[in-house]
Amino acid sequence: MHVPDGFLDAPTSAATGAVAVVTIGVALVKARTELDDKTAPMAGLVAAFVFAVQMLNFPVGVGTSGHLMGGALAAVLVGPWTAILCLSVVFMVQCLLFADGGITALGTNITLMGLTTVAVGWLVFKGLQMVLPKRISLVPAQAGIGALVSVPVAALLFVGLYAVGGATGIDLGNLATAMVGVHVLIGIGEGVITFLAIGAILAVRPDLVYGARPILERRELEIRTPTSGAAA
Amino acid sequence: MSTPVLDVRGLAYAYPDGHQALFGVDLHVHQGERVALLGPNGAGKTTLVLHLNGIHTAGAGSVSVSGLPVEKANLTEIRRRVGIVFQDPDDQLFMGTVRADVGFGPANLGIKGAELDRRVMRALEQVGMAEYVDRPPHHLSFGQRRRVAVATVLVMEPEILVLDEPSSNLDPASRRELADILRSLDVTVLMVTHDLPYALELCPRSVVLSGGTVVADGSTYDVLTDDALMTAHRLELPFGFDPRTATPRP
Amino acid sequence: MSTPVLDVRGLAYAYPDGHQALFGVDLHVHQGERVALLGPNGAGKTTLVLHLNGIHTAGAGSVSVSGLPVEKANLTEIRRRVGIVFQDPDDQLFMGTVRADVGFGPANLGIKGAELDRRVMRALEQVGMAEYVDRPPHHLSFGQRRRVAVATVLVMEPEILVLDEPSSNLDPASRRELADILRSLDVTVLMVTHDLPYALELCPRSVVLSGGTVVADGSTYDVLTDDALMTAHRLELPFGFDPRTATPRP
Amino acid sequence: MGAGHGHKLHFHGHSPIHRVPAHLKLLTLLAFMIVVVATPRDWYPAFAVYLAVLVGVIAVSRVPPTYLLKRTVVEVPFVLFAVLLPFVATGPQTEVLGVSVSQHGLEAGIALLIKGTLGVLASLTLAATTEPNELLLGLERLHLPQQLVQIMSFMVRYLDVVTGEMQRMRIARESRGFTARNPRHWPVLARSAGALFIRSYERGERVHLAMLSRGYTGKMPR
Ligand SMILES: Nc1ncnc2c1ncn2[C@@H]1O[C@H](COP(=O)(O)OP(=O)(O)OP(=O)(O)O)[C@@H](O)[C@H]1O
Ligand SMILES: Nc1ncnc2c1ncn2[C@@H]1O[C@H](COP(=O)(O)OP(=O)(O)OP(=O)(O)O)[C@@H](O)[C@H]1O
Ligand SMILES: [Mg+2]
Ligand SMILES: [Mg+2]
């Protein structure tokens, strides 16, 4: 679903580009609280991981292909603002090093598949966390649902953008039905992968999951004196 | 007595997965000492070492280096003073060529040009790897990578050298050469090792860590000849070696 | 004489980057022998070992195992017979828990259920890691990972055991226990090591590889007491050890 | 762990194009594509000129054309879309080879193909002649914010770490008698994928700390 050069008209591309620039600007400021010495590599890995996940392509109805997006996954792992930076970097790398997605459509791709999936995924995740009991075992499922919802929403936005700046009059109703239908399926795949990945990471490195930090309890350390330790 | 250059007090630490590895460790090392850190697999030696330049953050207790507490504000200074050779050389090497990798540290300190080159070549000569200067480090043999890893730390000329199993995977001559280098440098050395003859040869003092606490601290000779202590902590002298009869090398 | 179980003839190999590591190696190991493979860092020992189960493919010459040439069609069979303990345990462990990792090989051979469990636990007990069965392997200490790596190979009950520096990073007791295990098994052993006393203790025969060729092949005692050979190939006896006076353990 | 040693698309060479500083190449690509996109869709001669310019640059770069053509597969989904457009679009119909298609859709499809292909070819040329590390430096010179550059340099390095770890895990699996031949083996791969994530992360983290231990401040020394 990476939009190539010339797919949307110039005004639409410029507008989405502006949205992307402003949001990244805000994210840069906000992310300072999420990003430190130890989380910088994490952000890089999440970007690499999202990149890998996006290589899994599904054939989609009207000739385009769909793939996993990873926005919700990134948001739960590193926090929403850093996630926006991660996803933006992924699209830049895909565009500049792999020629996937046009350079004039970079803003569109970032807005469509980065900002939207991160925002929707994170809001759903947080919403669920607020209404459900605060238990660490629920985190993977909450993340999975956030991921599931984020995908069809992004697909709808794609249809919207196409209506505004697309080349020609395809029947929008049909396009919307086809896109959303298919993307619910992709969303299920995205949800399952997000669920499994967050579950696996929580099991051995709970400290790496940003979305779980508020509900991680502090452990008490045991101190052994040399005499009692010598017996061990 | 002077303030210790390495001062660890009541240090406890649990890994993020909940596994506690250190249960209150005390260790004081003074300027110019060479200390061996012995103990069975899983004792917590590596975990302790990674606290000395702030890679792990103390869960309880405190660590300080030359009087500076190991905490965020001092990390840059502490990492300049403490050079750590990691147990796994693959954790240490990351640049595209041996030259870039060994030069990385001094370049960060602002050294460049001919001076940088001179220091890089000197460090590589010390470990006998000068001819490999333009090869990618991940295309070297394991022992060669270990030697380059040692060079990346020597080149920084740290005041305190912490080595985690530096002699493993080295051929016998390199092992002896490393001992010669360490003896010739005027620095404080803390060396983790399972090679007890090597510890006796190089370090007058030994600390034994077991189950996350210090169970012995004294002269290496005394530690190695204390049979009860040795068997209690999985330390055994290797085949054909007896500290009582081994004479120090000239 | 019987056909050798490991038969390497005129083996030469260059890495993809063009660096040639082996220059015509001949090595014949017979059923039930225990052979030490010695030599300086970068001699080509690991490169040779990785030919024995087809991870590298001979550039020239041939390798065969129990009469089967190492080639695509035989790889499954050969990998069942030859168990390799890699020099870096991180190359060996990849599953989420120690249990899954040790069980991986036998499960591929179709073993399951209680029998699988029995074999996994037995192998872990041999290396003293039974209590770690449900931990993730990459969260163990280096020496613990090495021990699990050995278990992943023992559990396969291979006919030929090839170990690349198995004793490095092991604590002294584990090192001796590994020697005991190897002595108790009725298998052919080829062991790469830099620990010369360990080689003398465990392997009656030694082969010295240097610069990609075999420079000596004979009884370990003879190799270790041949001073000219030893110094020419960076082999030195460690501090306090003399093969002439060392008496074999009971 | 090599720092971004030659990604899949980079074609090693020393042509003048390889030697142009990365930030200039980036700006040129952007300007070129803006012109392409802004060109009305039926100015076919203009597109022919653009293509000629691009082919000229590729010739100077000495990257074999087949090397680039093979990599245009990223475009395939949109080629399909462009080919389908004439059939699904509404509006006045016209006859092509005896098939009735949408006039509007046909023009849009062709324009999409032309612009998209020019874009992919141009980007591929940049990718083939620029090392990832140079690209990072180029972006830095264009004042891309430091945080983005840092995330990107970690990402490029991690792509190496992850493929390296994957390679090691594959050898380890095969040495113990496993080859993934059919979907029955996927669960094994899925389970090792979880381990792969943590392993790559932890290796990358340790390497990062090793860098910090040697005075790294987020900027590569030059
Ligand atoms: N990343 C980790 N996560 C969780 N537990 C860990 C981790 N690394 C080590 N441990 C555990 O902490 C304890 C101490 O490990 P450490 O690596 O400090 O041992 P060590 O003394 O260095 O052993 P070795 O001689 O084998 O290198 C061990 O029980 C180990 O299983
Ligand atoms: N992946 C690789 N690519 C290119 N060259 C390599 C690679 N791995 C090793 N080499 C080179 O091949 C030679 C032999 O390496 P090998 O790993 O076999 O040595 P070794 O005898 O096992 O040494 P050590 O005792 O240090 O483990 C060395 O000169 C090394 O630099
Ligand atoms: Mg250790
Ligand atoms: Mg080797």
Tell whether the model's pLDDT for residue B248 goes beyond 70. no
Residue D44 above 80 pLDDT?
yes
Q: Which token pair is C158?
A: 């291979």
**Of B220, B154, B164, nearest in space to B47 by CA:** B164
Q: Around Cβ A101, how many Cβ atoms within 10 Å?
A: 27
pLDDT tens string A164-208: 877 666 677 887 887 788 888 888 888 988 898 898 888 888 888
Is residue B8 within 8 A of residue B26, CB to CB? The reply is yes
Protein residue with least CA distance to atom 14, ligand 2: C44
Kindly state the average pLDDT of the residues C98-123: 91
Q: Residues of D with CB below 8 A from C92's CB?
A: 172
Q: What is the mean pLDDT of chain D?
A: 77
pLDDT at site B68:
95
Q: For the residues A141-146, what does the mean pLDDT come to?
A: 95
Measured distance CA(C19)–CA(A16) in Å, rounded = 51
Bridge pairing between strands C205-210 and C34-38: parallel
Q: What is the mean pLDDT of residues D78-98?
A: 71
Q: What is the ipTM of this complex?
A: 0.80
Note the pLDDT tens digit of each residue in C124-134.
999 999 999 99
Angle at which helices B142-154 and B113-126 pack, to 10 degrees? 130
Q: B87 alpha carbon to ligand 3 midpoint, in Å? A: 6
- pLDDT of the residue at A228: 44
The pLDDT of residue A232 is 34
* Closest CA in chain A for residue D131: A97
Residue C229: which residues within 8 A CB-CB, separation 6 or more?
A: C208, C215, C216, C223, C235
- For D220, the closest chain B residue by CA position comes to B108
The two structure tokens encoding residue A59: 């054939």
Q: Chains A, D: CB contacts under 8 A, how many?
A: 201
Q: How far apart are CA D200 and CA D159, in angstroms?
A: 10
Q: What's the rounded Cα separation, in Å, for the pair D116 and D123? A: 11
User: What are the b/e assignments for C164-203, b being 16+ CB within 10 Å?
Assistant: bbbbbbbbbbbbbbbbeebeeeebbbbbbbbbbbbbbbbb
C96 chain-A contacts, CB cut-off 8 A: 200, 204
Average pLDDT over residues D9-26: 80
Task: Identify all chain C residues contacting D191, using CB atoms and an 8 Å cutoff.
Answer: 95-96, 100
Between residues B48 and D80, the one the model is more confident about = B48
Indicate whether B193 pLDDT > 90: yes
Q: Tell me, in angstroms, the distance from the centre of ligand 3 to residue D5's CA.
A: 30
CB contact under 8 A, B94 and D3: yes
Mutation choice for D interface testing from A54, A86, A97, A172 by most D CBs within 10 A: A97
pLDDT score of A115 more than 70 = yes
- In chain D, which residues touch B (CB < 8 A)? 1-3, 5, 157, 164, 203, 206-207, 209-217, 221-222
* Predicted pLDDT of residue A134: 84
Are A33 and D193 within 8 A, CB to CB? no
**Neighbouring chains to B with at least 3 Cβ pairs closer than 8 Å:** A, C, D
- Which pLDDT score is estimated for B1? 58
pLDDT tens readout for residues C138-194: 899 999 999 999 999 999 999 999 999 999 999 999 999 999 999 999 999 999 999
Domain definitions of chain D by residue range: 16-137, 145-213
- Residue among B141, B144, B169 whose CB has most ligand 2 atoms within 8 A, to mutate: B141
Residue C234's pLDDT is what? 93
Which CATH architecture does the domain made up of B6-232 adopt? 3-Layer(aba) Sandwich (3.40)
pLDDT given at position D7: 46
Query: What pLDDT, on a 0 to 100 scale, did the predictor assign at position A230?
Result: 39
Q: Could you give the CA distance from residue D113 to residue D39 in angstroms, rounded to a whole number?
A: 14
D87 against C211, higher pLDDT: C211
What is the helix, strand, coil percentage profile of chain C, to 5? 35, 25, 40
Residue A92: list chain D partners with CB under 8 A. Answer: 139, 148, 152
Q: What is the pLDDT of residues D31-42, one digit of tens each?
A: 888 888 888 877
Nearest by CB: D191 against C76, C79, C96: C96
> What's the pLDDT at D10?
67
Is residue D74 pLDDT above 70, yes or no? no
What separation in Å is there between the alpha carbon of C15 and the centre of ligand 2? Answer: 9
pLDDT number for residue A231 = 36
Total tally of structural domains belonging to chain A: 1
For residue C21, give the amino acid letter: A
Please state the rounded mean pLDDT for residues C220-227: 95
- Contact of B35 with B205, CB cutoff 8 Å: yes
Q: What distance in Å separates the CA atoms of residue C77 and residue C75, rounded to the nearest whole number?
A: 5
Atom of ligand 2 lying closest to residue C39 CA: 21
pLDDT tens-digit profile of B196-229?
999 999 999 999 999 999 999 999 999 999 999 9
**Nearest CA to B14 among A208, A222, D205, A216?**
A222
Residues B137, B148: contact at Cβ < 8 Å?
A: yes
pLDDT at D38: 81
Calculate what percentage of chain D has a pLDDT beyond 70.
Answer: 80
Tokens of C78: 């050969």
Is A3 within a domain?
no
| pLDDT value at C250 more than 50 | no
Report d(CA B122, CA B156) in Å as an integer: 11
Taking the domains of chain C in order of start, what are their residue ranges?
6-232
User: Measured between CA atoms, how close is D8 to chain B, in angstroms?
Assistant: 16
| CA atoms lying within 13 Å on the CB side of residue B151 | 30
Predicted confidence at residue C247, as pLDDT, reads 62
pLDDT over 70 for what percent of chain B? 98
Check if A213 contacts B (Cβ < 8 Å). no
Mean of the per-residue pLDDT values for chain C?
A: 92
More confident residue, C108 or D152: D152
Q: Which carries the bigger pLDDT value, residue D217 or residue C69?
A: C69
> On the CB side of B5, how many CA atoms lie within 13 Å of its CA?
20
Atom of ligand 2 at shortest distance to CA of C194? 25
Q: Sheet harboring B60-65: ordered strands across?
A: B20-29, B6-14, B60-65, B68-69
A63 or D4: which leads in pLDDT: A63
Ligand 4 centre to CA of A91 (Å) is 40
**pLDDT of amino acid D209:** 76
Stretch among A57-71, A129-143, B55-69, B123-137 having the lowest mean pLDDT: A57-71
Least-confidence region, from A111-120, C195-204, D189-198: D189-198
For the cut 60, the answer to whether the pLDDT of residue D3 exceeds it is: no
Cβ-based neighbours of A82, under 8 Å, separated by 6 or more: A27, A31, A34, A35, A39, A43, A74, A210
CATH number at residue A131: 1.10.1760.20
CA distances from residue D86 to A60, A155, B114, D81 in whole angstroms, order as listed:
18, 22, 65, 9
